[in-house]
Structure 1
Amino acid sequence: MKRRIWLITLRNNIGITQEKAAELAGVKRSTYTKAENGSSISVKTAQKIANVFDFDWTLFFENNCDEKGQKTA
């Protein structure tokens, strides 16, 4: 499982905690943490988190999705 550094960077860039990101997305903190840590998440959760940071939720499900490619998100 590869951590989603791009998601961590997005969160850090706006200066919020995992707790706040989870709250904004309407998910549990543990669920949000799983997303950052690279665990599988549901489509619904992906959409909620993507909505907070304004990127395409399908990035969570791309096999060859690397940090460089996601900087345009």
Structure 2
Amino acid sequence: MRAKLQQLREASGYTQQTFSSAVGTSRSHYSQIETGEKQPSLRLALRIKRVLNYYGDDIFDNSMPVRK
């Protein structure tokens, strides 16, 4: 998942800094999500998918469920 999240972000033309601003979190927090160190909240996960215009279910690793 994490590699896919990074690929989608980069393909959309975002740096971690610009993307984290677009989804309303800090760059360090987003970086931890992208590397798998932290889980996004449900709200943040939905914002990430919306900003990336991605509606598939495989963006987040199944072994690391989204925190509610």
TM over 0.5: yes
Would you say how many aligned residue pairs link Structure 1 and Structure 2? 62
- Looking at both structures, which has the greater relative contact order when contacts are Cα pairs under 8 Å and sequence separation is at least 6? 2
TM-score by length of 1: 0.68
Per the alignment, residue 62 of structure 1 pairs with: 62
- Counterpart of 1:14? 12
Identity %: 30
Aligned position for 1:70? none
Question: TM-score under structure 2 normalisation?
Answer: 0.71
- Structure 1, unpaired ranges of 5+: 64-73
**Residues in 2 aligned to 1:55 and 1:44: alpha-carbon distance in whole angstroms:** 15
**Mean alpha-carbon deviation: is it higher for 36-45 or for 50-59?**
50-59
Structure 2 residue runs without a partner (length 5+): 64-68
Alpha-carbon shift at residue 27 of structure 1 (Å): 1.4
State the match for 1:71 in structure 2. Answer: none
Could you give the per-residue CA deviations for residues 19-66 of structure 1, whole angstroms, max 9, x where no partner exists?
A: 000111111112211111112221111111111102238542523xxx
Q: In the superposition, relative to structure 1, how do residues 57 and 34 fare at CA in structure 2: closer, same or farther (>3 Å)? A: farther
Question: RMSD across aligned C-alpha pairs, in angstroms?
Answer: 2.4
Instruction: Identify, as 1 or 2, the structure richer in helix.
Output: 1
1:43/1:57 CA distance change after superposition, 3 Å: farther
Contact 2:5 2:34 in 1 (8 A): yes
Letter aligned with residue 19 of structure 2: A
